[in-house]
Amino acid sequence: MARITIDGKICQFSTKQSIHPNNWNVKAGKATGKAAGQLNNLLDDIKASLNQIYHEQQRRDNYVTAEKVKNEFLGHTEHHETLLNLFEKHNNDVKQLIGISKSASTYQKYEVTRKHLASFIQYKYNISDIALKEINLMFITDFEVYLKTIGKCNSNTTAKFMQFFKRIILIARNNSLIIGDPFANYKIRLQRVDRGYLTEEEIKKILKLKLVSERLEHVRDLFIFSCFCGLAYIDVAGLRKEHIRKLFDGNLWIMTKRVKTGTNVNVPLLDIPKMILDKYKDKLPNGKIFPVISNQKLNSYLKEIADLAGIEKNLTFHLARHTFATTIALGNGVSIESVAKILGHSNTKMTQHYARVLDSKIMREMDGISDDLPHKP
């Protein structure tokens, strides 16, 4: 009999070898006598194989048990899909769908999450990958702590990475690679962040700037265009002539789809975005409307514009989307349902974090009811 003991737990199995008890040294665990050599060599081979399996499982898996070592030695183990391997397969699929149903930024977020997981597994367990079936609540919470400490991620960035990680676990469950949900008792918490917006006065400051740099002028035009249309950077960058149409009301509309979600976006053009469109009309090849630079450089240039305009807010391109929702739309009486539709949100709940009640709107509404109220006691 062969006996395996790991962490005090014992598992044993038959080697299918036999010898007369008088020719067996119990203390040494070896056969004696003339015919002992061949049997002892076989037993040594079994012991070496068990040691090799044990060390391999230590390197590969989260934990090792006597039962796991025995099953692998006897050939009873199944191939278990690993976390990073499944993540890589998923990301390769997403990469092929870029420009079809996925954006490059979505692929990038999945890749960064996978790299964080790979670093965590190496840091925590000193292994290169981990079996999906070994993912449990402790693994999940330890990964969260790793992101916030070693990874130096803030709470919302951590929550986003946990969301991407959870989607891979959902894929594993849906494909019967694991049983149960390791995320069942884990709650992903996103903290509400006030991203800010520009007031009408601040928009006017940017509009009135005398910019000598053509580079900054392009950036200003793109930003202001988004302030009056609510389009995200990737959607402005992809605008083409065929997306600008004249509808039943005789007005020009932007009619496109959001790259991020694929939802339809229909936006009536106000005077300022019309003027910006006229400025760039027929100046670019292949139906493009605007000269576009990378989002990173664009945000860097926006900080220059903020300094020139005397605006102390952190000016980013996404701030234009918030400005449209708050100052241009909600601040001028557009319903939250209409704002949600313009922004390409599937429901108003997604629009709530853009919605703010402006002091100017409160004042207008209070003025509107003042005439109906008694003026004297």
Per-residue pLDDT tens digits for 320-358: 988 998 888 888 888 888 888 888 776 767 676 666 555
Q: With 80 as the cut, is the pLDDT of residue 208 above it?
A: yes
pLDDT value for 52: 92
State the pLDDT confidence band at 102, using cuts at 50, 70 and 90: confident
- % of residues, the chain, pLDDT over 90: 46
Q: Which residues pair with 98 in a beta bridge?
A: 102
| Rounded distance between C-alpha atoms, residue 85 and residue 195, angstroms | 36
SS3 of 143, please?
helix
Give the global pTM: 0.61
The H or E element that residue 24 is part of is: strand 24-25
Q: 305: which strand partners?
A: none
Per-residue pLDDT tens digits for 218-235: 999 999 999 999 998 988
Q: What residues pair up with 288 in beta bridges, in sequence order?
A: 240
Q: Is 70 exceeded by the pLDDT of residue 198?
A: yes
Positive or negative CA dihedral for 15, 20, 26, 31? negative
The pair phi, psi for residue 152, each rounded to 5°, is 55, 40
d(CA 61, CA 134): 8
Beta pairing class for 252-257 and 244-246? antiparallel
Residue 343 · residue 257 · CB < 8 Å: no
* pLDDT for residue 164 is more than 80: yes
In our burial notation (b when 16+ CB lie closer than 10 A, e otherwise), range 256-290 reads: bebbeeeeebebebeebbeebbeebeeeeeeeebb
Say which amino acid occupies 65: T
Residues 96-123, mean pLDDT to the nearest whole number: 91
- Which two structure tokens, joined as six digits, stand for 298? 């664009």
